[in-house]
Amino acid sequence: MLQIRFKLQNGSFLIGALVLATIVGVAVLATTTLVVTQGQAEQIFVNERKAFYAAETGIEYALGVLKDSSDWREGVSKDSLGDIEFSVSLEDKNTSPSLGDTVLVTSIGYKGSIQRSIQVYLTQPGGGPDTDYLVLAGNDIDFSKGKAVVNGNLHANKKVKIGSKYTINGEVTTAPPTIDLPTVDWDFFKNEAIAAGQYVAGDIEFESGKEYSGVWYATGEAKIKDNNVVINGTIVAENNVELKKNNEKITAPAHYPAILTKTDLKVEKNNAEINGLIYCQNLEIKKNNMVINGALVVTNTIKNEKNNTEMNFEPSYLTKIAGLTFSSKGGGNSGPPQVARWRISK
């Protein structure tokens, strides 16, 4: 009986040792697994921070380039910075019309398989309008007759006459100093019209019921001969531009002028509306209810002779206008891009 008890005691000791070894092994394995898991989590956290830093670097790079070149839209396919990478893309109203005057910059940072994204919305990346003047006249502004509401600044390098029936909401100045007028690259517009099949050697007559867009160039005159003509484009003429009927509406495309003529613009009927920049030698408003939203550059004289004329300085039509070079820029052109808002996404 004593021998059997001894054997049982030895067996119990062996079982206990095995149980203890198993417990210790499980604890060691759990501890090792925990250490490895914690190490992996720490590495993931470090990589996430590095990816975010890379995305921030891409945004800073984009803002720097845009400050020097507001038209930059190429972006960056991928660039390295030590052991991290970033890519940058830009969108504006040409790719996403809903953006309006906003530029969306998206920067993605990469560290291994981890990436982080930052988006920044910028406003007025190219600064303000190309001109601060609603009316800029090489010689005279003659508002001695008729009646009008004028919302914007006026400047004439010679004389300004304003009658009692005018409401001027802006500054009125004359030389000195003399303000240089913008120059027009006429060949630029000619080539645009040729490429679009809209170049005419002679006169152009615009008719109702037809769609007009892009640049239209005439070596002679450009005439609107019907009522209710709508033009969503640019009219360029080496001779006069004549609005001869009622209810004409001309709206400039983005970054293009509305009307350019080497001679005169004549408004001869009622209810004309022009949205955009007008450049001409003389402007004569001879009928009622003329509305201009944008700006006027006349190398000689602007003359209003009728009632209910309305002129509004509208910057949205006056930023980075193609084919024109302004020696006197608008007030905001030198400013850096302004951050409107930003967001972070994974």
What are the pLDDT tens digits along the chain (346 aa)? 445 454 545 556 666 666 566 665 656 565 655 555 676 778 788 888 899 999 999 999 998 888 777 778 999 998 888 889 999 999 987 888 767 778 899 999 999 889 899 988 887 545 578 898 999 999 999 999 999 999 999 999 999 999 999 999 999 999 999 999 999 999 999 999 999 999 999 999 999 989 999 999 999 999 998 999 999 999 999 999 999 999 999 999 999 999 999 999 999 988 999 999 999 999 999 988 999 999 999 999 999 999 999 999 999 899 889 999 987 654 444 455 677 677 776 6
Specify whether 210 is located in the same domain as 148.
Answer: yes
**151: in domain:** yes
Q: What CA–CA distance (Å, rounded) separates 265 from 195?
A: 25
**4: in domain:** no
Closest among 307, 268, 314, 313 to 148, alpha carbons compared: 307
State the burial class of residue 289 (Cβ atoms within 10 Å of its Cβ: 0-12, 13-18, 19+).
middle
Which pair of tokens denotes residue 87? Answer: 């890519």
| pTM over 0.85, yes/no | no
Specify whether 104 is located in the same domain as 218.
Answer: no
Q: What CA–CA distance (Å, rounded) separates 30 from 11?
A: 29
Specify whether 288 is located in the same domain as 256.
Answer: yes
Query: What residues make up the domain containing 184?
Result: 135-325
Distance of CA 4 to the CA centre of its chain: 97
**43: in domain:** no
Specify whether 119 is located in the same domain as 202.
Answer: no
Say how many CA atoms lie within 13 Å of 16 toward its Cβ: 6
**176: in domain:** yes
Contact 284, 266 (CB under 8 A): yes
Specify whether 168 is located in the same domain as 106.
Answer: no
Tell me if the bond preceding 176 is cis, omega within 30° of 0: yes
The CATH number for 65's domain is 3.30.1300.30
β-strand pairing of 264-267 with 241-243: parallel
Q: What CA–CA distance (Å, rounded) separates 182 from 204?
A: 25
Specify whether 146 is located in the same domain as 65.
Answer: no
**22: in domain:** no
Sequence-distant (6+) residues with CB within 8 A of 319 are: 126, 128, 129, 130, 255
**44: in domain:** no
Domain count, the chain: 2
Quick check: helix, strand or coil at residue 196? helix
Specify whether 139 is located in the same domain as 276.
Answer: yes
List C-alpha distances in Å: 38 to 30, 33, 42, 44, 47. 12, 8, 6, 10, 14
Neighbours of 89 (CB within 10 A): 18
Backbone angles phi, psi at 39, to 5 degrees: -65, -40
Specify whether 102 is located in the same domain as 228.
Answer: no
Specify whether 145 is located in the same domain as 225.
Answer: yes
DSSP state of 252: P
**287: in domain:** yes
**300: in domain:** yes
Quick check: helix, strand or coil at residue 254? coil
Specify whether 96 is located in the same domain as 242.
Answer: no
Specify whether 159 is located in the same domain as 308.
Answer: yes
Q: What CA–CA distance (Å, rounded) separates 179 from 258?
A: 22
Q: Hey, CA dihedral for 85, 91, 96, 102, is it positive or negative?
A: positive
Specify whether 245 is located in the same domain as 109.
Answer: no
